[in-house]
């Protein structure tokens, strides 16, 4: 929380218009190695509480990173945040959580392009519903439910 307070202090010091900011934070989730993972409702509660304590409502949008969550996990957490009251447009800026099952479906083979495009459409549709708070996990593939955390991963 101290980091966000400092960031917004200096943004205000430099006359940055909060209305023009788009944030890309990570969600407050359990560590990947934790045996008991927080529910989507808990992730939403903790993430929104942190943001509400530090981020001005004037900021129009927050786009979350998936941070190694499975595609389904990231979508469920986004959905829970959009079912809770908050002053922002809460959306997603997922890379791996949009592409993982698509890339695995494609497997580098040209004959799998159509199936990979369908997998991407499923992910985009799921996250579109989640930003409206209307996503359900029904019909999700086992691949989409697999976690993507890689210990020691470096960008």
pLDDT in tens, 29-84: 998 888 999 999 999 999 999 999 888 889 998 998 888 888 999 999 999 999 99
Say which residue the tokens 């595609």 belong to.
71
Distance between alpha carbon 106 and the CA centroid of its chain, in Å?
Answer: 23
pTM of the model: 0.84
- pLDDT band of residue 138 (cuts 50, 70, 90) is confident
Q: Is the pLDDT of residue 114 over 70?
A: yes
Q: Does domain 2-145 have CATH number 3.20.20.70?
A: yes
- Per DSSP, the residues of 74-121 read HHHHHHHHHHS--SSEEEE--SHHHHHHHHHHHTT-GGGHHHHHHHHH
Per-residue pLDDT at 155: 56
- Name the residue ranges covered by the structural domains of the chain: 2-145
- pLDDT band of residue 121 (cuts 50, 70, 90) is very high
């Amino acid at each position: 929380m101290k980091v966000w307070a400092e960031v917004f202090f200096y943004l205000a010091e430099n006359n940055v218009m909060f209305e023009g900011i788009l944030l890309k934070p990570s969600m407050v989730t359990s560590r990947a190695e934790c045996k008991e993972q927080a529910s989507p409702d808990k992730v939403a509660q903790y993430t929104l509480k942190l943001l509400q304590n530090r981020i001005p409502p004037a900021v129009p949008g927050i786009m979350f990173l998936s941070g190694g969550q499975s595609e389904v996990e990231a979508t469920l957490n986004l959905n829970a945040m959009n079912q809770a009251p908050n002053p922002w447009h809460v959306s997603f800026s997922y890379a791996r959580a949009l592409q993982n099952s698509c890339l695995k479906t494609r497997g580098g083979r040209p004959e799998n392009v159509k199936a990979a495009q369908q997998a991407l459409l499923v992910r985009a549709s799921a996250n579109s519903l989640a930003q409206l708070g209307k996503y359900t996990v029904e019909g999700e593939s086992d691949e989409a439910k697999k976690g993507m955390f890689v210990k020691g991963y470096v960008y």
